[in-house]
A and B are shown apart, each in its own frame.
Chain A
Amino acid sequence: MSPTTRQETLEAGTPAAALVPSLERSPDRRTRRRKRTAARNASAHGVPFKVRWRRDWQMVLMMVPGVLVMLLFAYIPILGNVIAFQDYQPYLTIFEAPFVGLQKFVGLFDDPDFLDAFRNTMVLAVTQLVLFFPVPIILALVVDSLSPRRLRNVFQSIVYLPHFLSWVLVITFFQEFLGGAGFINNTLKLMGMGSIPFMTDPATFPLMATLQLVWKDAGWAMIIFLAALSTVDVSLYEAAAADGAGRWRRLWHVTLPALRPVIILLLILRIGDILSVGFEQFILQRDNVGPGAAEVLDTYVYYSGVIGGDWSAGAAAGLAKGVISALLIWGANSLAHKFGEAGLFQKKVG
């Protein structure tokens, strides 16, 4: 109970017992929300459907375009996944294609290309997790400690910008800068040195892909850490300094603990999302690097299904990926709850 509400209770002249500070924990957000929902439902149940309809029909009408878009482009296609269990051919409709059970899923594991794609996805995801994840945190710490206000604003604008560029542009920039005939290799050639295949070497491709991701999204990912940093209570720093903590001690004992919940949350979310490495990024480079290193699950779906014509196998791979991802997100969310963090679903339903 916050001081203001207690004051209000006092003025309303409630019995004295209500003024005794309660030993119970103050209701947290979840409890309050549950009560609010319960109250809303109670009043809703009291009103007959007909009355509500007469009151709300215009609003319900407003939902129609959105619901229609959602049904057409999100929910009916989910049903379309049924072709993963069929032997679908483009000249048949979904209702005519014969069912073959799990055959297409089993077939995936006999396909070396699929296994390659799966391995590449994992390699890329782990490389990005290890090399990309710390960058926004470090960047946020640096930006937060920049004091000239103008410098800070300009720098922030620069690092945010690449997030709004398309992957085609990003890869183009890298190609023009580091590619075989690009700026760096060109300069090396002018200086009489050999060229370095930055953009086409399968061995270093995960590193290159991570560098591209850093270029595009490190600044953007920094926002949430900056927000967390801006809510740290300054008096904590003050107290730490008064107790004789130097700059590193303060970083270690005040700043990093403040970032901990955000770091854990994002880490868990990232793990839940591990099968979805950037799709456009890899489809753009698959030709140059070769499918041996740049084929990921999503590009496999595209090349085996749409290009290769085995629609059912592609759908099976996509469905398997989607289901595993959903399970991972669900698992990651329960893990987040276990750590006492806000988690994903709650955060979005709000």
Chain B
Amino acid sequence: MTLLKNHKASGLSYSPARPAWKEKPSPLYSGLKALTVFVVTAYIGLPVLVVFSTSFADNHQILQSGGYVLWPTHPNLDAYRTLFSGNLMVRALAVSAFITVVGTAIALFVTILLAYATSRPVLFGRPVVLAVLFTMLFSAGIIPMYLMIKQLGLIDSLWSLILPGALGGFNFVVMRSFFMNIPAELIESARIDGASDWKILWTMVLPLSKAVTAVVGLFYAVGIWNAFFNALLYLNDTSKWPVQVVLRSYVLQGKSMTADQLGVAVQTQPQSLQMAVVVIALVPILLVYPFLQRHFTKGVITGAVKG
């Protein structure tokens, strides 16, 4: 019994063989369930499919269908070729990649150090933890934040997108609760052998925490990649716009991408071009998603429920 329960609790994706007491669902219920699965999948998937298809479709088909296609008959990469031959998207991608990589590295550095230090009964540890938790409940607000960034001279600087998010309360809690589960004896023995705290963290704790570091890093990376409002608020210089802001102004607000920005005369259908921007903003998430998904359920449950 305990074995069964533990097995079930260990993974949310576990589904048992039908127990003896459970009746086989009638065709009606099976049908209803199948319908739910189908409808939900279509609800989530159809818009994504249309966007992908249109970005790969050829001009002829788009003109014929009046703008959007459900499935490209002659898929090609014209839209992407056009986008990448110009400045606009390449620059936006460079900015996004830069803030994501550097931002994640800095955020991980800050979070790991603070989480590790406070995971031990250490001087000042307790009040610092409470201070972090308080920031999860109460934030200063948009305008004081803006004034602070301005005071620090970070307006129009990419650091304004990186530094304010360098310590996420939720990620801190996840890391800290993981570090707290590392046996104290291990760390004590290293200390007795004369290792400094830096050395313990670097050579013992971090190698043990690869999984949680990866998850927290991915959470940070996804957050920075997706952030849009900070850039809108702090960057007046349009040449520093990350992908999400470009997406907003050229796709949602419908500003047209000029030949000047793209560096070539536009021969692709604007529809297709816009959808290609969407796909470019989406693809990095799709690439990290499998890695993220493997761990997040466990990470989220540890962080949110057990604390």
Chain A interfacial positions (CB closer than 8 Å to B): 40, 44, 49, 52-53, 56, 58-60, 62-63, 65-67, 69-70, 72-81, 83, 94, 139, 142, 145-149, 151-153, 155-162, 164-169, 171-177, 181-183, 186, 189-190, 215, 219, 223-224, 226-227, 230-231, 233-235, 237-238, 241-242, 246-247, 279-280, 283-284, 287, 298, 301-302, 305-306, 311, 314-315, 318-319, 321-322, 325-326, 329, 345-350
Contact = CB atoms under 8 A, between A and B. Distances in A.
Contacts of B222: 164
B83 interface: no
A322 B138 contact: yes
Interface string B133-164: 10111111111111110001000000000011
B105 interface: no
B182 interface: no
Contact of B41 (A149, A155, A167, A321): A155
Given A70-B131, A70-B135, A242-B21, A62 B305 contact: no
Contact of A69 (B44, B117, B163, B233): B163
Contacts of A80: 140, 143-145, 147-148
Interface in B176-202: 177, 196-198, 201
A152 B233 contact: no
A349 B113 CA distance: 19
Contacts of B147: 77, 80, 83, 94, 311
Given A60-B123, A77-B148, A155-B37, A168 B133 contact: no
Interface of B: 1, 4-5, 8-9, 12-19, 21-23, 25, 29, 33, 36-37, 40-41, 43-48, 50-51, 54, 65-68, 70, 109-111, 113-114, 116-118, 120-125, 128-133, 135-148, 152, 163-164, 166-167, 172-173, 177, 196-198, 201, 222, 225-229, 233, 244, 247-248, 251-253, 275, 278, 281-282, 285, 289, 292-293, 296-297, 300-301, 304-307
Contacts of B130: 349
A69 B113 CA distance: 12
A66 B114 contact: yes
A131 B13 CA distance: 27
B117 A62 contact: yes
A147 B22 CA distance: 12
Contacts of A322: 138-141
Contacts of A231: 5, 8-9
Contacts of A283: 229
B137 A73 contact: no
Contacts of B9: 230-231
Given A145-B33, A306-B146, A74 B293 contact: no
- Top 8 A-B residue pairs of the complex, sorted by shortest distance between their CB atoms: A350-B307, A66-B114, A80-B144, A318-B141, A77-B140, A166-B226, A241-B21, A58-B197
A318 B143 CA distance: 8
Nearest to B275: A176
A69 B13 contact: no
A247 B226 contact: no
Contacts of A287: 253
A69 B110 contact: yes
A209 to B, nearest CB: 15
Contact of A159 (B40, B46, B131, B252): B40
B152 to A, nearest CB: 7
Given A157-B293, A347-B305, A81 B140 contact: yes
B65 A190 contact: yes
Contact of A77 (B44, B144, B177, B301): B144
Contacts of A62: 113-114, 116-117, 197-198, 201
B141 A169 contact: no
B124 A63 contact: yes
A151 B305 CA distance: 27
B143 A305 contact: yes
Contacts of B304: 224, 347
B83 to A, nearest CB: 16
Given A168-B244, A348-B173, A315 B141 contact: yes
Contact of A176 (B47, B118, B123): B47
A173 B47 contact: yes
A153 B13 contact: yes
B5 A234 contact: yes
B13 A149 contact: yes
Contact of B144 (A161, A172, A315): A315
B297 to A, nearest CB: 6
B128 A67 contact: yes
Nearest to B54: A176
